[in-house]
């Protein structure tokens, strides 16, 4: 992030504390809770509880190396670590690399992952192979490449929570207890901050080492873990320093935990070799290249440092055998520009058999770890990859996929497989399997990650690495999607239904043609024909007077009226109520006119009254007609009185019947009414000579009868009614005592009355046309009914037939 | 005879009040009258189709026996106006008498006030179309022909002139429900309309339109007194026949 | 809580006046009769005033039709013209029973209304013919048969009285028709009593309230 150069062995930038190496490369030491770990990992975590708190995530550079030990060992506490043969003897002294590197004290602990879990489980194993590496480095005499720089920079780096995982004897305090001459021989290195803080907790023999090369603090290995064989071998280069370090060891021996000492209480030889004595302090022994594995050749100047480091290795280095730390020192970037940023040098030649443990690791975790294409021919690719990622690889054969470019050796994989009890190579733990993306098939355990291991990323930031998830062509180079047919796959039934729905919707929008209305509707024609026939028939009767129809014989009700009128005295006041509507004038004028004419011939004094608004003027019209018929010209007030309109209906009738003077003081012309000689003796309706009511409405006729008859006191009541009211009024006439003394109903009654009184009034004139019209009407009703009945049946039959046909 | 009438009225009132209180607790089943059944459907169809309702109150006025028919017409108008208040086209009431016209306007105003839509009240919704029966019928014909009437309700005091209104309704294809206390009008309605109300069925409109519990009580009271009258008539006829009375 | 006193006040007036008129009809008491008479007079006056209001409403409705150009505006204009002319004639030319008024009545009102009655006769004939097709029931047939019988027997043809048709006609009209009519009228009377009593007790309020 800051862009500044950092040593290759660093996992974290020493300036901005940014991560330089991927997490999988630098497996964090922090591990998940024991419950989440598989059993095989959990079993490795057999460190005491007291020290668990001190365990923290290893630095990335150490975690990377820890993974190597995973290949070597079955990762179980009781499993011995890799043998010394497996470990390259000519490896450069890594301790200078490690302990020279500084660690950021504030570096965040690496993410807990498989690597972290492995780191945690391998805490007890870390010391063993770490010690081997340093021993090898010391024997080879090659200084750790870039050790100076590593030593200088070592102080700048700090492990992520490393101090918690540092055993007591590895802490700077322990190192500080070493002989001062040893500590002073090593180039003064800045005590890393972590080292300074932990200095007091470290054993003395370790503190000196920490002062010279800030040692990498490792989690204390399990006491139960037996030391590898190569730890027990006599290492000649180390013995050169044995005397020197023996003192330190003995001094610190008392502080060493029991597991670090043998039965006699002495440090193992590999520890006595002063593994933690910085090879930089001692002249590195000459490094004899074993010509083992083809590894990147470390830089020449750094080779002098290796023998010193090799002397400290816990295993015996053969002469001429390159320091096992050479591979670390040889790790260097190809490009000169980035060389300063990477101090890690890959040892050029490391025997393959010594790196078998790495291959075992590779086999075991090749499916987990990204492929790192570590070219055996050259370290360029590897260096490039490590330069970009800041990895700390041992680019030798047998290394795990993330460390080496080669496939795990099959001959060693079965050996590991046999030794492993719970974890098969490439067997994913359950929790990791759960994280596997859906659809990704499980790879066979034996060849887990083989395809990925072989595949070298060719593009992108991970170019050159092996075991990387291929970005191309799966992601960046997308495949052409398969062509799907655009046309909907519908069945015949669905298509038919869809067409039906479409037709229905289209029909809904289309306006239905309305049936054209005929110019002359049938109803209008029929009505017109009826009207014409009626009019013609009546006209013929009116005009021709033919045929003559006999006048009906007057009934008793009619004769009674005639007789009562005949007995009226002249100038007798007769209350004549004109209570019919103008529309019924045709009938009622004829009937009322016959009776009123008779009254006028008897010279009575009619007093006109009405309960309808048009009654007064109707009365005037009736008087004029009757007068003309009688040959008289009636003068108001002298020959008749018109009271006018009586409002209030039946209630007003009852009141008027009792006190007529209270309701009408003046007549309709405004003249005095009750001072006339004809009306002077009239105080109630019962004091009239006769009451005649001309009404067409049966209800109103009843009102007159019912309201007046109790108050008439013997005054005859004559009802002149329309033919439609006769059925309701006749019972009043037929009753006993009769409430109506005379009844003239309709045109037949009027005609009969005119015949009885020998008059030729309007009723006689209307009789013939009336009969003709009546006959025509009856015929029309009958024929029309029959025709409609037949037509209706025909229409219903057609509708039934249409319904059946549909 | 006057005391007999007064006693009759008093007993009728007492029974009416008692049955009215009982009707509030128990609902009485009424016989089906197809006219009111179709009326409910017709009102709904008119509201949905956006057509007008026409109610004619006749020309009987408020005085006398025709006044009862007018009161029933006003009750029906109130129920219809309340039901059709949601319609886009408000109902219209025609009358042949001035007091009826004013009362019909008052009913509309009260209905719209009750539903909180005073602004929808139109004074012209209650019209006087004529002072005489036939002029009233002639004035009501334009309402039937030109106002897109879907349902015609002729309830009140009518004469034979009601046939003109009924015939116009039939020409326009609208439904007609008619009832009157006038015998002539009943005969005309029977021949001209689809759903005539014969006899006192007009006075049962309130109960069938759920105008209130007192309307149901009125029906029960009328039934009780009708049976009393039947018994009295038969008894009187028998007594007259025997010669006792 | 807002109390509307208008409704109870109007109901009290209605109930009181109705009771006075009803009781006064049956009970003859001097004061009660006078009060009844007074209420009836007021009702008559109000009816007359309502007639004037009604005429004004009629004129307003027709004027709106003319102004807005609704269908039938010509007939509305004719109506308004006739109304104005009649008012002018009655007021300025001698009153309601003057010669001019009588001339309008004789030659305008009566012919128009008589014509309407004539149209009614044609309408009734047509309705009779359609009634049989509308619903063919036994009651419809009885109704139709009775109507035709009455009309035919009313036909007065010399010597047409065959099999005593006129007596049968009288029997049908005076017994069956009258009895049916009486029964209907009794039911109508009971309904009218119930309706009136509902107004008297305040249960039915045709007025706003």
pLDDT single digits (tens) A245-276: 666 666 655 556 666 666 666 666 666 654 44
Q: Which residues of A touch B64 (CB under 8 A)?
A: 649-651, 703
ipTM value for the complex = 0.89
pTM over 0.90: no
pLDDT for the residue numbered A334:
47
List CB contacts of A248: < 8 A, sequence separation 6 or more. A177, A178, A179, A182, A204, A205, A208, A274, A277
- Domain count within chain C: 2
Answer whether residue A404 shows pLDDT above 70.
no
Residues of C in contact with B204 (CB under 8 A): 191
Count CB atoms within 10 A of the CB of residue C37.
17
pLDDT, tens only, B20-65: 888 777 667 778 888 888 888 898 888 888 889 999 999 988 887 8
Return the residue of A nearest to C116 by Cα.
A583
pLDDT number for residue A100: 42
Say what the pLDDT of residue A278 is: 45
Q: Distance from C190 to chain A by nearest Cα, in Å?
A: 16
Test C54 with B12 for CB contact under 8 angstroms.
no
Length of chain B: 245
pLDDT at res. B6:
84
* pLDDT tier for residue A429 given thresholds of 50, 70 and 90: confident
| Average pLDDT, rounded, for chain A | 68
- No. of helices (H) and no. of strands (E), chain C: 8, 0
Average pLDDT on B113-130 reads 88
Q: pLDDT-based confidence at B97, cuts 50/70/90?
A: very high
The terminus-to-terminus CA distance of chain B in angstroms comes to 16
Task: Please determine, for residue B237, whether its predicted confidence score (pLDDT) is greater than 90.
Answer: yes
Is B196 in a helix, a strand, or coil?
A: strand
C124 domain-assigned: no
B39–chain C nearest CA distance, Å: 19
User: Does A654 touch chain C if contact means CB atoms closer than 8 Å?
Assistant: yes
Region A374-387 average pLDDT: 43
Please report the pLDDT score of residue C120 as a whole number.
94
C-alpha angle A656-A657-A660 in degrees, rounded to nearest 5: 45
* Cβ separation B203–C57 shorter than 8 A: no
Kindly state the helix (H) or strand (E) to which residue A294 belongs, with its residue range.
strand A293-294
Average pLDDT over residues B192-215: 86
The structural domains of chain B, with segments of one domain joined by +, span: 32-211, 213-245
For residue B87, the model assigns a pLDDT of 82
Q: What is the pLDDT of residue A367?
A: 59
DSSP A691: E
Chains that touch A (3 or more CB pairs under 8 A): B, C
Q: Which of C125, C169, C186 should we substitute to test contact with A (largest number of A Cβ atoms within 10 Å)?
A: C125
CB nearest B101 (choices: C54, C71, C198): C54
pLDDT score of B168 = 93
Q: What does the pLDDT read at residue A312?
A: 53
pLDDT score of A170 more than 80: no
Among chain C residues, CA nearest to B130: C58
Neighbours of chain C (3+ CB pairs under 8 A): A, B
CA-based nearest residue in chain C for residue A582: C110
Residue C7 belongs to domain spanning: 1-69
Least confident of A200-204, A667-671, B169-173, C160-164: A200-204
Low-confidence ranges of chain C (pLDDT < 50): none
Summarised one tens digit per residue, pLDDT across range A747-766 is: 999 999 999 998 888 898 89
- Judged by CB atoms closer than 8 Å, whether chains meet at B132 and A697 is answered as no
- Residue A635's pLDDT is what? 85
DSSP designation for C106: I
Residue A497 has pLDDT above 80, yes or no: yes
Chain A contact present for B58, CB below 8 A: no
Q: Tell me, what's the pLDDT at B1?
A: 58
C113 neighbourhood in chain B, CB within 8 Å: 132, 134-135
pLDDT of A109 reads 41
Give chain C positions within 8 Å (CB) of B191.
124, 127-128, 131, 143
- Across the interface, whether the CB atoms of A582 and C95 are under 8 A apart is answered no
Q: Which chains touch B (3 or more CB pairs under 8 A)?
A: A, C
User: A586 touching B, CB under 8 A?
Assistant: no
pLDDT digits (tens, 9 = 90+) for A285-304: 544 444 444 444 444 444 44
Which 508-567 residues of chain A touch chain C by CB within 8 A? Answer: 523, 526-527, 530-531, 534, 549-552
Determine, for residues A585 and C113 on separate chains, whether the beta-carbon distance falls below 8 Å: yes
Judged against a pLDDT cut of 50, whether residue A185 lies above it is answered with: no
Higher pLDDT, A139 or A589: A589
Rounded-to-integer distance, Cα A540 and Cα A526, Å: 21
Instruction: Check CB contact of A782 with chain C, cutoff 8 Å.
Output: yes
What pairs with residue A141 in β-bridges?
A307
Given this model, what pLDDT does residue A788 score? Answer: 85
Q: Looking at the DSSP assignment, which residues form a beta bridge with residue C159?
A: none
CB A748 to CB C173 under 8 A?
no
Q: Are strands A641-645 and A690-695 parallel, antiparallel or unpaired?
A: unpaired
Residue of C nearest to A662 (CA): C37
CATH, domain range B32-211: 3.40.50
Confidence of residue A578 (pLDDT cuts 50, 70, 90): very high
Q: Which of A583, A703, A728 sits opposite B134 (nearest CB)?
A: A583
DSSP-H helix ranges across A545-580: 556-566
Q: How far apart are CA C107 and CA A667, in angstroms?
A: 25
Q: Helix %, strand %, coil % for chain C, to 5?
A: 80, 0, 20
Q: Do A778 and C148 touch (CB under 8 A)?
A: yes
Residue A91: predicted pLDDT: 43
d(CA A570, CA A562): 15
Check CB contact under 8 Å for C181 and B183.
yes
- Is C203 contained in some domain? yes
């Amino acid at each position: 992030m800051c862009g500044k150069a950092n040593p290759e062995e660093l996992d974290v930038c020493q300036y901005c504390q940014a991560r330089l190496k991927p997490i999988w490369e630098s497996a964090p030491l922090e591990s998940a809770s024991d419950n989440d770990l598989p059993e095989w990992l959990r079993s490795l975590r057999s460190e005491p509880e007291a020290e668990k708190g001190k365990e923290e995530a290893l630095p990335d550079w150490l975690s990377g190396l820890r993974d190597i030990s995973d290949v070597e060992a079955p990762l179980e506490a009781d499993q011995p670590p890799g043998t010394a043969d497996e470990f390259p003897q000519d490896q450069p002294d890594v301790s200078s690399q490690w302990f020279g590197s500084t660690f950021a004290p504030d570096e965040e602990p690496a993410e807990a992952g498989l690597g972290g879990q492995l780191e945690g489980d391998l805490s007890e194993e870390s010391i063993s192979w770490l010690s081997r590496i340093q021993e090898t480095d010391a024997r080879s005499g090659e200084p750790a490449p870039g050790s100076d720089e590593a030593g200088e920079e070592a102080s700048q780096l700090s492990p992520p929570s490393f101090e918690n995982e540092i055993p007591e004897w590895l802490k700077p305090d322990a190192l500080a207890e070493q002989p001062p001459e040893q500590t002073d021989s090593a180039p003064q290195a800045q005590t890393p901050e972590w080292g300074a803080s932990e200095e007091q907790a470290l054993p003395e023999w370790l503190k000196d080492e920490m002062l010279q090369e800030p040692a990498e603090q490792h989690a204390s290995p399990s006491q139960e873990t037996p030391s590898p064989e190569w730890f027990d071998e006599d290492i000649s280069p180390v013995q050169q320093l044995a005397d020197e370090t023996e003192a330190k060891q003995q001094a610190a021996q008392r502080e060493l935990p029991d597991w670090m000492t043998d039965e006699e209480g002495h440090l193992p030889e590999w520890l006595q070799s002063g593994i933690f004595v910085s090879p930089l302090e001692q002249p590195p022994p000459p490094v004899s290249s074993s010509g083992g594995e083809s590894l990147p050749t470390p830089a020449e100047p750094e080779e002098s440092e290796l023998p010193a480091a090799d002397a400290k290795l816990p295993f015996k280095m053969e002469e001429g055998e390159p320091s096992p730390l050479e591979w670390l020192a040889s790790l260097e970037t190809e490009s000169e520009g980035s060389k300063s940023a990477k101090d890690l040098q890959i040892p050029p030649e490391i025997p393959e058999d010594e790196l078998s443990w790495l291959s075992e690791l590779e086999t075991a975790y090749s499916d987990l770890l990204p492929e790192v294409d570590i070219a055996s021919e050259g370290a360029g690719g590897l260096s490039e990859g490590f330069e970009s990622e800041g990895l700390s690889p041992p680019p030798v054969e047998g290394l795990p996929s993330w460390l080496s470019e080669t496939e795990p050796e099959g001959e060693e994989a079965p050996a590991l497989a046999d030794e492993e009890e719970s974890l098969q190579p490439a067997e994913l733990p359950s929790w990791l399997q759960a994280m596997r993306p859906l659809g990704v098939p499980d790879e066979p355990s034996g060849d887990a990650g083989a395809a990925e291991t072989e595949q070298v990323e060719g593009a992108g930031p991970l170019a050159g690495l092996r075991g990387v998830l291929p970005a191309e062509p799966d992601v960046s180079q997308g495949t052409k999607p398969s062509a799907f047919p655009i046309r909907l796959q519908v069945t015949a039934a669905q298509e038919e239904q869809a067409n039906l729905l479409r037709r229905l919707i289209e029909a809904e929008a289309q306006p239905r043609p309305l049936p054209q209305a005929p110019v002359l509707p049938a109803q209008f024609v029929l009505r017109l024909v009826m009207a014409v026939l009626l009019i013609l028939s009546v006209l013929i009767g009116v005009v021709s007077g033919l045929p003559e129809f006999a006048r009906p014989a007057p009934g008793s009700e009619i004769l009674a009226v005639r007789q009562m009128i005949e007995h009226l005295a002249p100038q007798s006041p007769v209350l004549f109520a004109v209570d019919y509507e103008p529309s019924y004038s045709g009938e009622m004028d004829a009937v009322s006119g016959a009776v009123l004419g008779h009254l006028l011939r008897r010279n009575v004094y009619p007093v006109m009254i009405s309960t309808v608004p048009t009654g007064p003027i109707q009365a005037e019209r009736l008087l004029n007609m009757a007068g003309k018929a009688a040959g008289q010209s009636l003068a108001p007030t002298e020959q008749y009185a018109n009271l006018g309109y009586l409002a209030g209906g039946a209630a007003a009738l009852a009141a008027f019947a009792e006190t007529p003077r209270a309701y009408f003081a003046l007549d309709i012309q405004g003249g005095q009414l009750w001072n006339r000689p004809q009306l002077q003796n009239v105080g109630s309706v019962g004091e009239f000579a006769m009451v005649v009511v001309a009404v067409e409405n049966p209800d109103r006729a009843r009102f007159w009868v019912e309201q007046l008859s109790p108050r008439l006191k013997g005054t005859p009541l004559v009802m002149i009614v329309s033919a439609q009211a006769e059925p309701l009024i006749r019972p009043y006439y037929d009753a006993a005592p009769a409430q109506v003394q005379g009844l003239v109903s309709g045109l037949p009654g009027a005609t009969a009355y005119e015949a009885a009184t020998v008059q030729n009034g309007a009723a006689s004139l209307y009789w013939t046309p009336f009969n003709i019209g009546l006959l025509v009407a009856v015929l029309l009703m009958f024929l029309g009914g029959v025709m409609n009945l037949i037509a209706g049946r025909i229409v219903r039959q057609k509708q039934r037939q249409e319904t059946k046909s549909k | 005879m006057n005391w007999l009438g007064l006693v009759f009225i008093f007993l009728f009132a007492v029974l009416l009040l008692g049955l009215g209180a009982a009707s509030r607790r128990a609902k009485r089943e009424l016989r089906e009258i197809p006219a009111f059944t179709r009326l409910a459907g017709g009102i709904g169809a008119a509201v949905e189709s956006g057509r007008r309702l026409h109610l004619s109150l006749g020309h009987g006025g408020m005085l006398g026996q025709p006044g009862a028919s007018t009161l029933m017409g006003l009750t029906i108008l109130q129920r219809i106006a309340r039901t059709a208040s949601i319609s886009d086209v408000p109902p219209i009431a025609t009358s042949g008498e001035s007091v009826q016209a004013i009362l019909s306007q008052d009913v509309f105003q009260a209905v719209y006030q009750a539903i909180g839509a005073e602004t929808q009240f139109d004074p012209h919704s209650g019209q006087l179309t004529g002072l005489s029966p036939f002029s009233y019928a002639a004035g009501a014909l334009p309402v039937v022909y030109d106002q897109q009437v879907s349902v015609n309700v002729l309830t009140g005091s009518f004469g034979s002139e009601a046939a003109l209104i009924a015939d116009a309704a039939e020409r326009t294809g609208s439904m007609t429900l008619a009832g009157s206390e006038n015998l002539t009008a009943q005969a005309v309605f029977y021949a001209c309309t689809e759903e005539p109300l014969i006899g006192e069925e007009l006075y049962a409109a309130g109960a069938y339109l759920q105008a209130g519990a007192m309307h149901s009580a009125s029906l029960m009271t009328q039934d009780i007194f009708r049976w009393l009258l039947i018994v009295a008539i038969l008894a009187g006829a028998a007594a007259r026949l025997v010669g006792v009375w | 809580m807002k109390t509307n006193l208008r409704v109870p006040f109007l109901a009290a007036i209605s109930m009181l006046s109705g009771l006075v008129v009803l009781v006064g009809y049956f009970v003859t008491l001097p004061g009660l009769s006078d009060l009844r008479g007074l209420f009836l007079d007021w009702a008559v006056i109000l009816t007359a005033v309502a007639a004037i209001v009604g005429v004004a409403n009629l004129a307003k409705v027709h004027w709106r039709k003319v102004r807005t150009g609704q269908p039938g505006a010509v007939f509305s204009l004719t109506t308004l013209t006739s109304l104005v002319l009649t008012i002018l004639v009655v007021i300025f030319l001698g009153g309601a029973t003057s010669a001019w008024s009588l001339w309008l009545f004789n030659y305008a009102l009566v012919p128009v209304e008589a014509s309407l009655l004539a149209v009614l006769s044609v309408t009734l004939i047509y309705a009779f013919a359609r009634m049989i097709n509308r619903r063919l029931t036994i009651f419809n047939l009885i109704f139709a048969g009775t109507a035709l019988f009455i009309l035919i027997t009313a036909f007065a043809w010399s010597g047409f009285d065959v099999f005593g048709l006129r007596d049968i006609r009288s029997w049908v009209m005076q017994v069956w028709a009258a009895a049916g009519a009486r029964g209907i009228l009794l039911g109508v009377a009971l309904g009218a009593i119930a309706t009136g009593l509902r107004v008297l007790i305040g249960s039915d309020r045709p007025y706003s309230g």
